[in-house]
Amino acid sequence: MPKDIERTLITGQQIARRVAELAEQIARTYEGMDQNRLTLVPILSGSMIFAADLIRQLPMKMKIGLMAVSSYPGMSVTSRGPKLRQQLDVNVAGRHVLVVDDILDTGQTLGLVLEELGARKPASLRTCVLLRKAGRAPQGFVPDFVGFDIEDVFVVGYGLDYNDRYRSEPDIGVLRAGIWRPRQAACTTS
């Protein structure tokens, strides 16, 4: 584990088991619907690894459309407000859309994405997040599929980054506070 990671929150094995369960749940939900009309929309960049693992467990036909949104650029640890970096490149009118993201924190990213996609008249619009920080998103904002509820800590690994680092870590871990928040000065002047 890199020294900047304070502790492991979720291991790669736990993630793999949960991704398989989510895929079963998703497959059951879309069973009976016209599966020719499913479009998965992973939100880049953080969800790439989660989406790739999830897609490999989904037995049905699907189109994939990509959107890129950034809320925590560089060394930001609080949301700067979501910026749409890349617009969806496929037509989703009349299709069943499943948005896939790695984490639901303040909910601003998914809020923007759902507004954008809702305007395109999909047949249905659902959301799947691997992680959800309890109590952070607006009340009533409930994703259809959630991997893990987590505490309010800054997490990295399995696609999630801090200043472009740690995306390739197989586990999800808590970033040491001193890395992103200056430690309290050892002595202060009066």
Instruction: Return the residue nearest ligand PRP (CB atom).
Output: 46
Residues 48-87 that bind ligand PRP (CB under 6 A): 69-72, 79, 82
Q: Which one of residues 22, 54, 103, 172 is an interface residue with ligand PRP (CB under 6 A)? A: 103
Sign of CA dihedral 25, 31, 33, 35: positive
Question: Active site includes 105?
Answer: yes
Residues 148-187 that bind ligand PRP (CB under 6 A): 161
Window contacting ligand PRP (CB under 6 A); options: 6-14, 54-62, 107-115, 149-157: 107-115
What's the number of CA atoms in the CB half-sphere (13 Å) around residue 48? Answer: 11
Please say whether the beta carbons of 113 and 102 come within 8 A.
Answer: no
| Smallest gap from residue 180 Cβ to ligand PRP (A) | 13
101, 105, 161, 171: which one is catalytic?
A: 105
For the sheet containing 5-10, what is the strand order?
5-10, 172-175, 155-156
Of 91, 96, 86, 104, which Cα lies nearest the Cα of 38?
A: 96
Give the interface with ligand PRP as residue ranges (CB under 6 A): 43, 45-46, 69-72, 79, 82, 101-109, 161
